[in-house]
Amino acid sequence: MDRSLEFGAFMEKFLLNPPPSSSPQNLLLNGLTFAAKDIFDVEGYVTGFGNPDWARTHPAATSTAPTVLAVLTAGATCVGKTVMDEMAYSINGENVHYGTPINPCAPDRVPGGSSSGSAVAVAAKLVDFSLGTDTGGSVRVPAAYCGILGFRPSHAVVSRAGVIPMAQSFDTVGWFARDPVILKRVGRVLLQLPDVDPVRPSHVIIPDDCFQLLNTQSNRVTEIVIKSVEKLFGSQVVKHANLGEYVGDRVPSLEHFMDKGNEHQGYIPSLIALSAAMRSLQRFEFKNNHGEWVTTVNPQLGPGISERVWEAVRTTDENIETCHLVKSELCGALNALLEDFGVLVIPTVPGPPPKLQTKGCSLETFRVRAFSLLSISGVSGICQVSIPLGTYDNLPVAVSLLAKHGADGFLLNLVETLYGTLTEQDEVANKSGC
């Protein structure tokens, strides 16, 4: 098929059918199609990791990743592997070697990475759902940019076997869908969850400081969410908070990463420190995983990626123990804040997707704000779902819901319950010109 008709989403097309079943109609994913990011092993195919030098220097996989096998066994059909950012080290979705998948929501904008092709395949309706990975934001960002649902599960609850590691302290297997029902079905398979009745959230926290990081329309987004929650659960569950202050008070180890030079005035200091800790540990683990290969092969890497990869290769183990302390302190603090059935609402990203081939220096402010938000669940390991909220100025808008570590089933049920009301409120906001 003409690559342009497939939005440049696929690295290669093939067909993996589900194994025979005596009662296929009872399978959760029966009849659905999916694609997998080129970071998942599929027996007989080289796992390319977004880079031709990696593909050239690695043999074909001898087994298939358990997550891919799980959705196949649940009745889904795999139609191919999708394009990704090189070595999973970007949130843009631009790949100089294989081309940048076209964002169906905004063709002149980046699709988001590193699971770019997986998000585009779902947004363009080429598949029913897709698999990606999320280390620093690689499912949440492309979901937001492409106007679809994206789920990052609690850390370490979905198998990462047969998936090339980027940084194990943050790596998760996530997934995309256009429909909350399918999103939940995939989650039930990967998380091995029974079908349980939805539970009402005990409290829904709106951190006003986080919404101030939005480039535009922060009031519109919070209003849509609050009205939806109030309509379904009553106004008493909505709480406002200052998340930056809470994190600063409850995560003492962040002091080591605070910006002493005030370079980031106008941002949220504790969340800037959080993203600094995340990047430090990410670089260290990336070096341990791939530093030897990088220095031996000296691969061709695209702009932005090359600088990040070589910075990681040159990193030291300074502050690594403190990074792990930050992780455990933050997880404890957020689990205490959310309790069993609380929800935290934040912008997924600080604004619409940047234009294609925007220079890195002009994206710096956006990236700082983005990683302030993305590091909340990234560092703590709690679960997060990005939900599309229509468009503003013809560009996609998204919001995220977060729940405590292990509350993935609760969160998937909540998305299904809230989704229709959020869509209605978005339409009301559009008609009123908000």
Q: Are 315 and 323 in contact (CB under 8 A)?
A: no
Region of 205 please: left (phi>0), alpha (psi -120 to 50) or beta. Answer: beta
Q: Residue 431: pLDDT above 90?
A: no
Catalytic residue, from 90, 115, 118, 138: name it.
138
pLDDT mean across residues, the chain = 95
pLDDT of res. 362: 74
pLDDT by residue (tens digit) across 299-355?
A: 999 999 999 999 999 999 989 999 999 999 999 999 999 999 999 999 999 999 999
Instruction: Give Dmax over CA atoms of the chain in angstroms.
Output: 65
* pLDDT-based confidence at residue 21 (cuts at 50, 70, 90): confident
* Residue at token pair 């599929």: 42
Distance of alpha carbon 13 from alpha carbon 219, whole angstroms: 43
Q: For 3-191, which CATH class?
A: alpha beta
Catalytic residue, from 90, 114, 280, 372: name it.
114
Order of strands, sheet of 172-177, starting from the edge strand that comes earlier in the sequence: 10-16, 77-82, 33-37, 129-134, 172-177, 149-152, 383-392, 395-403, 342-347, 203-207, 238-241
Structure tokens at 9: 């989403």
Distance of alpha carbon 343 from alpha carbon 402, whole angstroms: 6
Distance of alpha carbon 174 from alpha carbon 368, whole angstroms: 23
Which residue type sits at 88?
A
| Helix/strand/coil for 422 | helix
CA dist 423 → 389, 417, 418 (Å)? 7, 11, 9
Q: Are 189 and 29 in contact (CB under 8 A)?
A: yes
Q: Are 265 and 368 in contact (CB under 8 A)?
A: no
pLDDT by residue (tens digit) across 93-140?
A: 999 999 999 999 999 999 999 999 999 999 999 999 999 999 999 999
Q: Residue 3: pLDDT above 60?
A: no
pLDDT by residue (tens digit) across 159-183?
A: 999 999 999 999 999 999 999 999 9
| Helix/strand/coil for 101 | coil
Q: Given the DSSP bridges, would you call strands 203-207 and 238-241 parallel, antiparallel or unpaired?
A: parallel
Of 426 and 216, the structure prediction assigns the larger pLDDT to 426
| Phi and psi at residue 254, to the nearest 5° | -65, -20
Distance of alpha carbon 111 from alpha carbon 415, whole angstroms: 23
pLDDT of res. 26: 87
Cβ contacts of residue 372 below 8 Å, gap of 6+?
A: 213, 267, 268, 271, 272, 274, 275
* pLDDT-based confidence at residue 193 (cuts at 50, 70, 90): very high
Task: Assign 3-class secondary structure to 351-376.
Answer: CCCCECCCCHHHHHHHHHHHHHHHHH
To the query of whether residue 138 is one of the catalytic residues in this protein, the response is yes
Average pLDDT over residues 195-217: 92
pLDDT of res. 434: 47
Q: Are 170 and 114 in contact (CB under 8 A)?
A: no
Q: Residue 152: pLDDT above 50?
A: yes
Q: Are 126 and 99 in contact (CB under 8 A)?
A: no
Domain with CATH 3.90.1300.10 in the chain: 3-191, 203-432
Identify the helix (H) or strand (E) that includes residue 244.
helix 243-250
What interhelical angle do 218-233 and 408-431 show, nearest 10? 120
pLDDT of res. 432: 63
pLDDT of res. 1: 41
Structure tokens at 266: 């106008």
Q: Residue 4: pLDDT above 70?
A: no
To the query of whether residue 114 is one of the catalytic residues in this protein, the response is yes
pLDDT by residue (tens digit) across 34-53?
A: 999 999 999 999 999 999 99
Region of 118 please: left (phi>0), alpha (psi -120 to 50) or beta. Answer: alpha
Average pLDDT over residues 346-369: 90
Q: Given the DSSP bridges, would you call strands 77-82 and 129-134 parallel, antiparallel or unpaired?
A: unpaired
Q: Which CATH superfamily is domain 203-432 in?
A: Amidase signature (AS) domain (3.90.1300.10)
Distance of alpha carbon 309 from alpha carbon 401, whole angstroms: 31
Distance of alpha carbon 150 from alpha carbon 113, whole angstroms: 12
pLDDT of res. 91: 96
Other beta carbons within 10 Å of 208: 12
What interhelical angle do 320-338 and 243-250 show, nearest 10? 120
Distance of CA 111 to the CA centre of its chain: 13
Q: Residue 264: pLDDT above 70?
A: no
Of 209 and 365, the structure prediction assigns the larger pLDDT to 209
Other beta carbons within 10 Å of 254: 25
